[in-house]
Structure 1
Amino acid sequence: MANLMRFLSLSILVWFSLDGLHAQEEGLASYYHKRFHGKVSSSGRIHDAEELVAAHRTHPFGTFLRVTNLSNLKSVIVCVTDRGPRRKSRIIDVSYSAAELLGFISKGIERVRVEVVPGIPDLRYLDLIYPKMPYLDAAKFRSAIPYRMDY
């Protein structure tokens, strides 16, 4: 049983590593200036500087990404709502509030790691890694107390 569990978990991890959705990338990140607040993004949403949103070149709109600042290891989860960044040397643009949480407002750009956060369909595979243990309901086997002691 233990060997089967190891095989299942290893095969699922290999499957996830081959899947492009769970890839990581590292590179430079910048942030939207506050002057973009209220402008329409390429997804059609109005950009709000207080939301945790980002622009990425390839991830579909609505994808949640974990962005980790590699200099201080602070991380934040953002939603892709726009295309960009324009500069080829950068991999992601985050909103002003996300940049504040990551701690690089004063620098303007920072080296980050970007990872896809698994969604609902991806979490169903966790049952294969950690299967539910069979459970025996023992309540029906308990006997009632046969006597009462009154003092």
Structure 2
Amino acid sequence: MTTAPTVDGRAIGLAHYAGRSVLEHVLTRHGATFARHITLRAAVVADGPVTADALVAEVVGALKTDPAAVRVTVEELLAEELLSADGPLLRPTEAGRQLLAVVGAETGEISARIYAGIPAEDLAAGGRVLTLVTERANAELAALTRQE
């Protein structure tokens, strides 16, 4: 391992994009996109059926993206029968759960290789730092949004 720089926005960004590129490579093999994956995952891990508005809000909060784009993604997942609608409630279909499981298994193997050999205490420290950075960045974004 090379000497690591101090954690900053660039280091976090490089790690994020490297990991996201791995995920997108796996998703492409399954005909999926990052936006669809994140939206489907939000539906799968929900405590039960969700409204479209709740699902959109969850994804917008996670990805800091345009709600209209997430609504399009939800419609795509419905059209592909990866989500189903029962009145106003959405739930993942068996095909949606299967896709998420297959992608999760493939990326899990890759993640195991990526994180192999990193001491647990380093991973815990990194997790604490990233959680704090995320909280502070979300607070700054909220303040900027209020100013607009």
TM norm. shorter chain > 0.5: no
How high is the TM-score relative to the length of structure 2? 0.29
Greater share of strand: 1
Structure holding more helix per residue: 2
Of structures 1 and 2, the larger Rg is shown by 1
Higher relative contact order at CA 8 Å, sep ≥6: structure 1 or structure 2? 1
